[in-house]
Homo-oligomer: A and B are copies of this chain.
Amino acid sequence: MVRSSRVAVVGGGVIGLACAWRAAAAGFAVTVHDPAPGSGASWVAGGMLAPVTEVLPGEDDVLALGAASLDRWPGFAAELAAAGTDPGLRTEGTLTVAVDPADRAELDRLGEHLARLGRDVDVLRGRSLRLAEPSLGPAVRSALSVPGDLAVDNRALLAALLAACRTSGVEFEPSRCETLPAADVVLLAAGAHSGALHAALRGMIRPVKGEVLRLRARRGVPPPPSRTVRAVVGGRHCYLVPRDRARVVLGATQYEVGFDTDVTAGGVRQLLDDAERVLPAIGEYALEESSAGLRPGSPDNLPLIGSLEPGVLVATGHSRNGILLAPLTAEAVLALLRGVPVPPEVVPAEVSRFAGRGNAVTHGRDERSEA
């Protein structure tokens, strides 16, 4: 593919923007098609870059992919900052904590699993935990500390990506695509909406709703933790991602209810109930925003990256990990545009793994209209 090829990116979330920026910087003529770039699930997200504390036993490919992308994050953030806008990378690390005995057992299993994988994990207890994070409540008796799991201000990141795209010559077409736009190569990166754009993706990508609250410590109230805190409370997972000295993002519920972005009263209450077990002062925080986004779920929690047919690439299905995986996804998409191999960790995420299963990976434009 020649460097002057016209590339149409469908979707201006974190994945689409990262790919557009990298492609434009490499010399491709890129247009991003999105009625509202930088909104959607990327805007709602918490911004954790936490492949280690996110891992589920049996999902080692997800961990390897996330870890490979996390390795690229400091350079990615530095390049964005050099392009003009700091994306707000936070390097204080992550704690995973548990509240009830059953939650602590789950945490112990995670610790053992990570130790077997050779990951850098410490256990903090008692006084050392209080000293590290004095705002944590008495129900939190121990924590797994994962200093390598980071976070980023997702909204600063989107602003930085939009600025970098513009600086690199990316054009924006502010409309929703009903059909694939005309271009030498189309990249489908429309998140949860991608399934409607190509027959090969039908039934492969489903919206997984997540509700997220944004809170601010009021005057005289203990500030949020300095690290990201992931918690298991009564079997449910929640996270607290600090933004600045006073602000914190609290997430996230998980529902599979179609294309619905209502924030439910029950979801808000559950997040606040669970967070208060971890951070007792949170009742005194100002609730600044409640919002919901649609994660693009895939059948196996790995994204779908690759070629659907000649001239049509895809990068979606990043589930909870879109922001974490943006640098590596953009690198893989650039490799696909150039016709060179993708990074090895991306191979398990190649869309070809679903060949022959459901609709994924068709090999001719005609098939799209049939499905």
Contacts and interface: CB of A to CB of B under 8 A. Distances in A.
Interface of A: 213, 215-216, 218, 260, 262-266, 268-269, 272-273, 275-276, 282-287, 290
B269 A273 contact: yes
A265 B290 contact: no
B272 A265 contact: yes
A262 to B, nearest CB: 4
Contacts of A266: 272, 282-284
Question: Which 7 residue pairs across A and B have the least CB separation, nearest first?
Answer: A266-B283, A262-B286, A269-B272, A265-B287, A263-B287, A265-B285, A265-B272
A266 B269 CA distance: 10
A77 to B, nearest CB: 30
Contacts of A284: 264-266
B290 A269 contact: no
A282 B265 CA distance: 7
A269 B273 CA distance: 8
A223 B263 CA distance: 17
A218 to B, nearest CB: 6
Contact of A286 (B263, B269, B276, B287): B263
Contacts of A216: 262
A329 B262 CA distance: 40
A216 B262 CA distance: 9
Contacts of A275: 265
Contacts of A262: 216, 218, 286
A79 to B, nearest CB: 37
Contacts of A285: 264-265
A285 to B, nearest CB: 5
Contacts of A268: 268-269, 272, 287
Given A264-B287, A265-B284, 8 more contacts: A215-B265, A216-B262, A218-B264, A262-B286, A263-B286, A265-B283, A266-B282, A268-B272
A126 to B, nearest CB: 28
A222 B262 CA distance: 16
